[in-house]
Structure 1
Amino acid sequence: MKDSFVHKSPQGGYLPFLLVFALLALLGIFITMPIIRPLMWAVIFSFISYPLNEILHKKVFRGKHRNLSSLVSTTCVVLLLCVPMGFIGISLAKEAIKFISSLSDNLESIQQVLISAWSGLVKKLPDHLIRYAGIKEDPAFLQDLTHRAVSYLASSLGDFSRGLLGNAFKMCYQLFVISVSTFYLLRDGHVVLEFLNDVLPLPKEERAALFDSATRMMKSVVIGTTLTAGIQACLGVAGWVFVGLPAPILAGVFLFICAMIPFVGTPFVLIPGALYLFLIGNVKESLILAFWAVLVVSTIDNLIRPLFISEGSKVHFLLVFLGVIGGISVWGFLGVFLGPIVLSLFVFFLDCYRRIWRAKREYSD
C-alpha cells in the first residue's frame, strides 16, 4: 500500500518537503552562526588530535572504549592548546602594558635621534631644493608626529590588553564549546564523513578524490603552516630576547601570526624592533637583530614551508595567498586555516563540474 502511494504520488508532492527542509536549514544556520568560530576550531583541533585518538582507541584500548579514548584526546587538546592560549592571553595583556611603559620612557631619546637625523639630512640638501619643496629646518613636526604615533600605539595596545582581560567569560564559554565539539567529532567523526560521502552528488572516484584533497590541504595548512610559523616565532623571540627588547611573549605572538601571512612574515615585527633599538642608541643590537631577521628567520621559512605547502597540498600559491588574506578579513586568525581550505575545495568542485560536463558532451557527440 505504501509502495503504491509512493509510485503514484506526483512530483509536486516533494515541494512541501523542500520548503520545510529549506526553512529548517535556514533556522539551523541562525542557531549555529553565533558559535561557528569555536566549531571551526573544534574541527581543526579534532583533525590535529585524530592520530592520537586512533592510537588510543585501536592500540591502547584494543578497539574498545571509544568514549574514553575521545575523552583523553580532548583533554590533551585542552591542556596542550587551549589552556596555554589562555595563559598567553593574560601574559600578553601584562606585557602590552610593560611595552607601553617602555615606549613612553624612551620617547625623548627617540625624538632626539629623529631630530638629529632630520637636521643632518636638511644640511646636506641643496638650497634650491629646500626652497622649492618648502622643507623646514625646524623639526618640531617630528616631535608631534612621534608623540602621536606612540600615543596611538599605546592606545591600541591598551585596548588590546583590556579586551583580553575583559573577555574571560567569553573565552571560557568558547573553550567549553570547543571541548564538547572536539570530543564528539573525535568519537563520531567517521559517522559524519560517511554521511557526507553518501549525500555528495558525485561519482565514487570524485568523492574519493575530494576527501583526499581536503585531507592533504588540511595537513599542509594546519600542520605545515603552524609548524613553520612556530619555528620562526621561536627563532625570532630568541633574537628578540638576546638584544634585550621588552615583551618577548607579545612579540612571539605577533611573530607567529605574521609568519602565517604571505608577503608579510616575521620581518614585519623584527625590523621595527631593530629600528627601535637604533633610535634609542643601541646600534650594535639593532644590526644584530636586523641580520638575524633577514638571514636566519626568513630563510627558515623558505626551507621548511615548501616541504608542506607544495608537496602536501599541490595547490597553487595564489590560492593560498588569496585564501589567507581573504580568510583573515572574514574570520580573523581562524581565516589563516579556513581561507585556503575553502578556496581549494571550491576549485576542486569547479574542476569536478568541468570533468563531468566534458564527459557528458563527449558522450552526446
Structure 2
Amino acid sequence: MPNNDRLLVQILLLALLGASIWVLAPFSSALFWAAVLAFASWPLMTLLTRWLGGRAALAAGLLTLGWMVLVAVPLVWLGFNLADHVRDALNLLKDLQVQGLPPPPEWMAGIPLVGERLVGLWRTIDQQGSAFFASLKPYMGQVGNWLLARSAQIGGGVLELALSLVLVFFFYRDGPRMAELVQSGLQRLIGERAEHYLELVAGTVQRVVNGVIGTAAAQAVLALIGFWIAGIPGALVLGILTFVFSLIPMGPPLVWIPATAWLVWQGDYGYAVFLGIWGMFIISGVDNVLKPYLISRGGNLPLVVVLLGVFGGILAFGFMGLFLGPTLLAVAFSLLNDWVADGGARAPVAKEPPPEV
C-alpha cells in the first residue's frame, strides 16, 4: 500500500509539472531570451551589486532600466527613419511609373550570352511601363497580405522583446537562488559531475552570446564603412539595420542588396559593383568566419562541432537554435568524452603471462 501511495504522488507531481509547462508555454520565447540576456550580462550584475553594497534588487532594477533605454530608444529612432525611407521609396516608384527607366548602362550589353536580351528587356519595360505596373496590380494584394503577416510577426516579436526586458529583472534578482535550485536538481540526477556540466553549459552560452553580438557589431561597422564609401544616404541608419538583421540568418543581404540596387538606379555603377563585392565577401563573409571562431574560442569544443551546432540548431529550432544547438552538442560531446575516459580508466589491465621455466 505505501508503494501505491508513493506512485500516486509521483503521478500527481508529473501531472502538476506538465500543467505548469503548459501554462508557461506561451511565454517560452520571452523566458528564454530573458534568461540568455541575464546570463550574458551577469558579470555586470555582480559588479553593480558590489558597488551598491549588496542591494541586488536595486542593481537588477537599474540594469533592467538600462536595457529598456538601450533597446527602446534605437527601435523608436529606427522606426521614424524607416518611415521616411519608405516614403522616399514610394516617391521613387511613382517617378518610375511616370518618367520610366533611365537608359540602360553600357556594361549591360557587354554581358556574354544574355547582354542583348537584358538590354531589350530593359527597353521593353521602359516603353511599356504603365502596362508593366498594371500587370503587377493582381499581385499587389498578395504582397500586401505577405507584408501584413510579416508586420504581425514583427509586432509579436517586439511584444516578446518587451516581455523579456520585464522578466530579466527577476532573473537578475533571483538568479543565485535559481542557480542553486538547478544545481541541486542536477546533483540528485547525475551526482558530482553536475557542477562540471553546469560550467560547460554556462561557458557555451556565454561564448555563443559573445559570438552573435560580436559578429553583428563587426558586420554593422563593416557595412557602415561600405555605405559611407559608396555615398549611400542614411548610412548610419542602414548600419544599425545591418546590426539588427545580423542577428537572423542571411539577414545582412536584406540591407546591402537594396543599397546596391539604389546605386545602380542612380547610375553609380562603379560604387554599385564595389558595394556588391563588399557586401558579399566582407559584410556577409565575416559571419562564416568570425562567429564560429568566437563561439569556439576558449572552449574545448572542436570548430566543426560548433559549425554543426550553429547551423543545425537554426534549422531545427529557429533562431533560438543558435544558442541551443552548440549548447546541446557541447554537453553531448563532453558526456561522450567522459564516458570514453571512464571506460578506459575502468578497463582491466591484462596480466603478463608468467615466464616459462
TM-score in same-fold range (> 0.5): yes
Quick check: 1:193 aligned with 2:185? no
Q: What amino acid is aligned across from residue 63 of structure 2 in structure 1?
A: S
1:219-234 pair list within 5 angstroms: 219-234=206-221
Residue 16 (structure 1) aligned to one of 4, 8, 12:
8
- Does the 8 Å contact 1:113/1:280 carry over to 2? no
Does 1:256 find its partner at 2:243? yes
TM-score normalized by the length of structure 1: 0.71
Query: Secondary structure, in 3 states, of the residue corresponding to 1:312?
Result: coil
Paired with 1:336 and 1:256, the residues of 2 have a C-alpha distance of 19
User: How many residues matched?
Assistant: 339
Q: Which residue of 1 aligns with 2:269?
A: 283
How far the C-alpha of 1:313 sits from its partner, in A, is 4.2
Contact 2:49 2:55 in 1 (8 A): yes
The structure 1 residue matched to 2:204, chosen from 208, 217, 220, is 217
The structure-2 alpha-carbon separation of the partners of 1:311 and 1:152, relative to structure 1 and needing over 3 Å to count, comes to farther
| Residue aligned with 1:113, SS | coil
Q: Deviations over 1:258-290 (max 9, x none)?
A: 64567x474574356335523552112213323
After superposition, residues 145-224 of structure 1 pair within 5 angstroms as: 155=144, 158-159=147-148, 163=152, 167=155, 171=158, 175=162, 177-200=163-186, 201-204=189-192, 206-224=193-211
Code of the residue aligned with 2:177 in structure 1: it is: V
AA aligned opposite 2:263:
L
Structure 2: distance between partners of 1:335 and 1:225:
12
Q: How does 1:337-352 map to 2 (within 5 A)?
A: 337-344=322-329, 347-348=332-333, 351=336
Residue of structure 1 equivalent to 2:353? none
Alpha carbons 2:108, 2:119 under 8 Å: kept: no
Match of 2:298 among 309, 312, 316: 312
Match of 2:52 among 48, 61, 64: 61
Q: Within 2, Cα distance between the matches of 1:157 and 1:196?
A: 43
> How far did residue 188 of structure 1 move?
1.4
Which residues of structure 1 form unaligned runs of 5+? 1-8, 126-134
Q: Is the 8 A contact 2:311 2:322 kept in 1?
A: no
User: How far off is 1:251 after superposition?
Assistant: 4.1
CA distance in 2, matches of 1:330, 1:96: 34
2:355 is matched with which residue?
none
Distance in structure 1 (CA, Å) of the matches to 2:248 and 2:90 = 26
Q: Distance in 2 between matches of 1:179 and 1:82?
A: 10
TM-score, normalising length: structure 2: 0.72
Q: Offset of 1:46 from its aligned partner? A: 0.9
Alignment of 1:20-35 (within 5 A): 20-35=12-27
9-18 vs 317-326, greater mean Cα deviation:
317-326
Mapped to 2, the partners of 1:164 and 1:247 lie a distance apart of 26
Where does residue 113 of structure 1 map in the other structure?
A: 104
Alignment of 1:81-120 (within 5 A): 81-89=71-79, 91-92=81-82, 94-102=84-92, 105-106=95-96, 113=104, 117=108
Of 241, 249, 260 in structure 2, the residue corresponding to residue 274 of structure 1 is 260
Distance change >3 Å, CA 66–CA 36, structure 1 → 2:
same
Task: Answer whether contact 2:201 2:331 (CA < 8 A) is retained.
Answer: no
Deviates more, 1:274-283 or 1:349-358: 349-358
Q: Select between 113-122 and 9-18 the one with higher mean Cα deviation.
A: 113-122
Per-residue deviation at 1:28? 1.1
**Runs of 5+ in structure 2 lacking a partner?**
126-131, 351-357
How far did 1:26 drift? 1.5
Whether 1:335 and 2:324 are equivalent positions in the alignment is no
Shifted more, 246-255 versus 235-244: the winner is: 246-255
Cα gap change, 1:113/1:217 in structure 2, threshold over 3 Å: closer, same or farther?
A: farther
- Rounded to whole Å, the distance in 2 between the matches of 1:195 and 1:120 is 66
Inter-partner Cα distance in structure 1 for 2:343 and 2:87: 61
Looking at structure 2, the residues matched to 157 and 112 of structure 1 have their Cα atoms a distance apart, in angstroms, of: 32
RMSD over aligned CA atoms reads 4.6
Distance in 1 separating the partners of 2:13 and 2:2: 19
**Which among 12, 15, 39 is matched to residue 47 of structure 1?**
39
Q: Matches of 2:13 and 2:87 in 1, distance apart?
A: 52
- Is the contact between residue 310 and residue 326 of structure 2 (CA under 8 Å) also seen in structure 1? no
The AA in structure 1 aligned to 2:70 is L
1:64-98 CA distance string (max 9 Å, x none): 32211111122112222344335435544553454
Q: Retained in 2: the 8 A contact 1:97–1:157? A: no
Offset of residue 318 of structure 1: 4.8
Q: How far apart in 1 are the matches of 2:62 and 2:122?
A: 62
Call closer, same or farther: CA 1:88–1:154 in 2, change over 3 Å.
farther
Structure 1 residues 291-349: Cα deviation after superposition (integer angstroms, max 9, x where no partner):
433565457557754552221344344554454445546665x4264333453355257
Cα pair 1:270 1:289 within 8 Å, conserved: yes
Once the two structures are TM-superposed, the CA of residue 189 in structure 1 deviates from its matched residue by 0.8
Partner of residue 121 from structure 2, selected from 125, 133, 139: 139
Distance in structure 2 (CA, Å) of the matches to 1:113 and 1:202: 69
